Amino acid sequence: MALLPLFVLLLLAVAVGVGASAVRGAPPSAELAVAAARQHARWTAAAAALFGVAAAVGTAAVGTANDSFGPASDGVTALLVPVAFGLVHTTVLAIGELTWPRPVGQVRHAQLVRRGLLDAAPRRLVRAGTATVPFAALVLGAGALLADADGRTFSVTAAGGAVGGAASPFAGADYSTPAALGLLALAMAALVTLRIVAERPAVSTGDDRIEAALRAASAHRVLRGAVGSALIVVGGLLAVSGLALRNASTGAGDTARAYGLDVGVLTGALPVTGAVLGVLGLALALAGLVLCAWCAPAVPADRQPALGA
């Protein structure tokens, strides 16, 4: 199956992320509320990863078994695989935050703190997500404008239209429309889940570092899955579009040169631009995979033993 390498990379990224998170855990907490919260977070993260991978594999199986999207079915299915993972992963995390364990044991104090949507989120992930939104809009918009009428091919001409070249897949409307809808749904799910994380009751602990770390880890898990999945989609579209641009311009240039015609930019700027875009897209997709496996911040060990039994 053509999508098998994508599945292998996705499974590897998830396995590495979940395994590393378990290894990085702090020593067992003496506070019952903290111990319950940490255990709940671990189970939620593992469930989100497993259900996310199951959704990705199911999407691929359904997409490759029929041609619902016509000639672009294989490409659209490849785009929807990371979107399905991100959506289900985020949804399971939201359920986990809504079912956060109630306080147990002795309560030392409770702080009334007004938290913003992104206050607990790691700054690096916030910046990555913020940069991904306009970049995705640029890639999808430019692809839709530059593609041929069939919505999935890029073509160029040379020597006054005497020769030309075309290549696909390219990020035209056939690919950019389902990608845009999927990314929009993923962004909305992430924002809703981050709001749930921000409004979740504080864990009853005498160490404010632990409460802050638990909330930051929750926000981290939400953003790494959503932003990582979005980068895989955008990076994949940019990579194949860059390759199509390179192949189309190189083909037209070779034909024009064979007939002794003026090739113009077909052997210079356009092929190089396509190659650069292809490499950039591949780098973004790989960055998305790495992001999906990025370990959440570790919860610090208790500063002092819990009071009471």
Can you tell me the mean pLDDT for 29-36? 68
Instruction: Compare 166 and 96 and report the one with higher pLDDT.
Output: 96
What's residue 282's pLDDT?
A: 92
What's residue 88's pLDDT?
A: 95
Q: Do 100 and 201 form a contact (C-beta atoms < 8 A)?
A: yes
Least confidently predicted of 83-92, 111-120, 130-139, 222-231: 111-120
What's residue 23's pLDDT?
A: 41
User: pLDDT above 70 covers what percent of the chain?
Assistant: 71
Query: Residue ranges per domain, the chain?
Result: 4-103+141-292
Quick one: pLDDT band at residue 204, thresholds 50, 70, 90? confident
**Cα–Cα distance between 76 and 176 in angstroms, integer?**
9
The counts of H helices and E strands in the chain are 7, 2
What's residue 62's pLDDT?
A: 84
CA distances from 261 to 65, 136, 257 (A): 46, 37, 6
Q: Which two tokens stand for residue 141?
A: 């918009």
Can you tell me the mean pLDDT for 96-119? 68
What is the residue-averaged pLDDT of the chain? 79
Least confidently predicted of 4-13, 170-179, 218-227: 4-13
Q: Is the pLDDT of residue 95 over 90?
A: yes
DSSP string, 271-305: HHHHHHHHHHHHHHHHHHHHHHTPPPPPPPPPSSP
Q: Which residues pair with 164 in a beta bridge?
A: 157
CA distances from 73 to 84, 178, 268 (A): 16, 11, 33
What's residue 153's pLDDT?
A: 87
Can you tell me the mean pLDDT for 237-244? 92
What's residue 72's pLDDT?
A: 64
Nearest partner of 93 among 277, 220, 4, judged by Cα: 220
What's residue 213's pLDDT?
A: 85
What's residue 48's pLDDT?
A: 93
Q: Is the pLDDT of residue 57 over 60?
A: yes
What's residue 303's pLDDT?
A: 56
Q: Which residues contact 33 (CB under 8 A, 6 or more apart)?
A: 101, 103, 104, 105, 107, 203, 204, 205
User: pLDDT above 90 covers what percent of the chain?
Assistant: 34
Can you tell me the mean pLDDT for 19-35? 58
Instruction: Compare 8 and 213 and report the one with higher pLDDT.
Output: 213
What's residue 212's pLDDT?
A: 83
Helix, strand, coil in percent for the chain, rounding step 5: 70, 5, 30
Q: Is the pLDDT of residue 250 over 60?
A: yes
Can you tell me the mean pLDDT for 74-92? 91
Instruction: Compare 28 and 218 and report the one with higher pLDDT.
Output: 218
Q: What is the pLDDT of residues 7-21, one digit of tens each?
A: 556 555 665 555 555
Instruction: Compare 151 and 141 and report the one with higher pLDDT.
Output: 141
CA distances from 22 to 39, 54, 196, 200, 300 (A): 10, 21, 24, 23, 14
Q: Do 204 and 103 form a contact (C-beta atoms < 8 A)?
A: yes
Sign of CA dihedral 85, 86, 88, 94: positive
Q: Which two tokens stand for residue 174?
A: 């056939």
